[in-house]
Structure 1
Amino acid sequence: MEARAHRGTAGTIADWCVASNLEEKEVEWIFLIEGSASPAVNLSRLFKSISEECEYDVILGISELDRHCGCMLIRRSVFEHVPDLGFFDLKEQLLPVIRETGGRIGGEVIATRALRISDQTSWLQILAAWNARQSSKDGSGPGSGERPKPSLIMPGARTEGAEIIGSIILNGAVVEPGAVVARSVIASGVRIPAGTVVTDMLLGTDGGSRLHRKRGSFNSEGPKT
């Protein structure tokens, strides 16, 4: 038996819709999310955009800058445009067909920035965005007048004697006594020496970067008195 030729994203989903009898089950919408998409998004806002009066065939989750966030809602009936045989891509082929046949594609803002997981630095950026979003959900973000949300310190991290403020410390990271880490993400394998002050930074084993373009510091000399 010959292996079936690769069908592409849209082709694979179309085949799954048929095999799962989704039409008979009256499933109207399918939620798609890319493997590199950030979890720091407001999916409830995306799902609330669905209603009986919804005029769109595809609803893209986008950022405040109109960048695709890697997730979308798409009507099951749209996949009827996919041929039974051959490769058929979702973005390059199906979406253009939807527009050409009079379908409508809309967007719903679900994130401040469109972040994708591609390397350690981008993963740390996503963790920081997730932590910031959790803080805003709890009403403990900047300017809220409430106590900041506690940091996320993984069980395998060592932070005894250090001051951790609104940060994420991953398993295997070490923050030595007397060090201060604020609004930062510290990856596994990173050691913050005693007396160091870290603010608004992403620190991984492959180096560090600022969380914000205009601020972020790593002061290995410790706080000045």
Structure 2
Amino acid sequence: MLKIENVRVSYNGIDAVHGVSLEVSEGEAVALLGPNGAGKSSTLKAIVGAVASTGRIEFDGGVYRRQPDALARAGLMLVPEGRHLFKSMTAHENIQVGESARRGRSGPSVDDIYELFPALVPLRDRASWALSGGEQQMVAVGRALAGGPRMLLLDEPSMGLAPLVISDMYKSLAQIRDSVTILCVEQNTQAALKLCQRAYVMANGEIQLEATAAELAGQKRLMDSYMGRKDVGGAVEDKAETTAS
């Protein structure tokens, strides 16, 4: 469904992404893992046309260079890092906005989204600025699902969330895994590898490794090295992830 080849992204003459290539087949859930500054989010932004890039990008068998709104209407939905909700709108209104991109495609109804995220039911009339980080993330995913996505791009869905909220979020994502293709950018390797069948590991703007989730889950030392973690006195010190409170 998605294929990118030799994609490069530069900011002010400095390369952030160096010739990245990856593929995601229809029906797959694939993770793109790596520490801060690896180029993961820039890769997603290149895919949806939010930043200038070079290289070849194919979605649904065709090469494209379209605006992000046109790609959303074609079924390629991004849940951006930081949620980016409409702050003056309620949770319910934010979810309804997603329906504008559906264009006749089948997909979850708004009622289905509330079943997926039952914690939002009593909050549907609350302004999005008054929601917690976890609640905002549920609304952001719900908004994308309301558009009937053919493929869902998730940019750091666990960032800034408490461990219990992360667990609940990924349980909900697992429920939609069989109905929508997923590419998930994450630093939380444990959560991502439980959701996805395959993963690419990115560092310094390049793909360093591709393997199945099961293979990577069994290579803790290797993954710790790529993610910038090291053992300190028997405990793991994480240089890439921020502990959520």
Q: TM-score, normalised by structure 1?
A: 0.25
**Structure with the larger helix share:** 2
Q: Greater Rg, structure 1 or structure 2?
A: 1
